[in-house]
Structure 1
């Protein structure tokens, strides 16, 4: 998994007045948990651009000066309800050999068979919450949708891996192919029906009688 470095500095005061002054100066108050006592620090808001405003996920190296560096992951973030400015960020320290929980983006692979026949691919999830050793966590989880027909669903069990544990029930749906007004017959399904001795629906009249080609 990719990592980015954020330069910051420890906070000497954590009161409301000090926090307000930080924000007025373009700084974001932050807290690092997971390594014992919470560590309060701040960093320029622009430093979080590559971490927050991206669909990708990263681990973070927090460089607080004087040789103090901490490996961490983003845990929680608060935005201003009107301006969307970053108000506060919580980080969780990554310790060697310790598993962490993260939300990993899902990338689909291929074009669903049902989409080729006029269906629409609908996403139920864009990210999966997983748990594992940071070094084993991928940048994204690939989900192959090639064989999905209209009405089919892709469950989280289709993307299991030995590198991480999926923190969703097995019946959780990632995506599904739904019908649409542009639906057409599935050619492969028709070929299977003919091979089995069934008459394709396209060759049957509205009331079950055969069409002109089928009359003597």
Structure 2
């Protein structure tokens, strides 16, 4: 999985006064859990743009001024209800031998024949929660919808792997195509009708020929 570096400063004080002063200075108070003790630090709000304002999933390398580096994943984020500025971020420290839980985005590939025939594509699960060792965290799930016809769906079972555990039931629908009022017969039905039409045309062509021989 791709990683983003965030440069920060360890916080000496974690009281309300110092937190408010950090936010007024355009910095975000953060905490890293999972280690021997919580690590409190702050970083410029702009440092989080590639982590927060993206559909992609990333791990994070937190570089502190004292030279310490911590690898983590974002666990929670709080936004201001009016301005949408970032108020606080929680991280969870990663260790090579400890599994971690993370939401991984789903990407759809291909064009659904069911949609081409007027069906409605319903993208039910845009992210899947998984548990895995850090080295086995995928960047995203690729789901091929090129064979998805009206009435079909693709469930979690089809994207399972030995590298991680998906924290959803196997029958959880990721994407499906449902019929709609404007839907037409599926491609296979169209082909059958074309073949029947060709046979009828051939029979019609033979009939006049038989009459002319009499």
TM-score, normalised with respect to structure 2: 0.87
In the alignment, the residues of structure 2 paired with residue 26 and residue 72 of structure 1 have an alpha-carbon distance, to the nearest angstrom, of 22
Unaligned stretches of 5+ residues in structure 1: 204-216
- Residue matched to 2:6: 6
How much has 1:84 moved relative to structure 2?
A: 0.3
- Residue matched to 2:171: 171
Whichever structure has more helix as a proportion of its residues is 2
How much has 1:187 moved relative to structure 2?
A: 3.0
In the alignment, the residues of structure 2 paired with residue 108 and residue 131 of structure 1 have an alpha-carbon distance, to the nearest angstrom, of 22
User: Is the 2:95–2:134 contact (alpha carbons within 8 Å) kept by the matching residues of 1?
Assistant: no
How much has 1:36 moved relative to structure 2?
A: 1.6
In the alignment, the residues of structure 2 paired with residue 10 and residue 115 of structure 1 have an alpha-carbon distance, to the nearest angstrom, of 52
3-state DSSP class of the match of 1:8? strand
3-state DSSP class of the match of 1:75? strand
How much has 1:24 moved relative to structure 2?
A: 0.4
- Residue matched to 2:129: 129
Q: How many residues align?
A: 198
| 1:96 and 2:113 are equivalent in the alignment | no
RMSD across aligned positions (CA)? 1.9
How much has 1:193 moved relative to structure 2?
A: 8.8
- Greater C-alpha Rg: 2
Aligned 1:1-216 pairs, distance under 5 A:
1-189=1-189, 191=191
3-state DSSP class of the match of 2:182? coil
In the alignment, the residues of structure 1 paired with residue 182 and residue 134 of structure 2 have an alpha-carbon distance, to the nearest angstrom, of 44
- Residue matched to 1:214: none
TM-score, normalised with respect to structure 1: 0.86
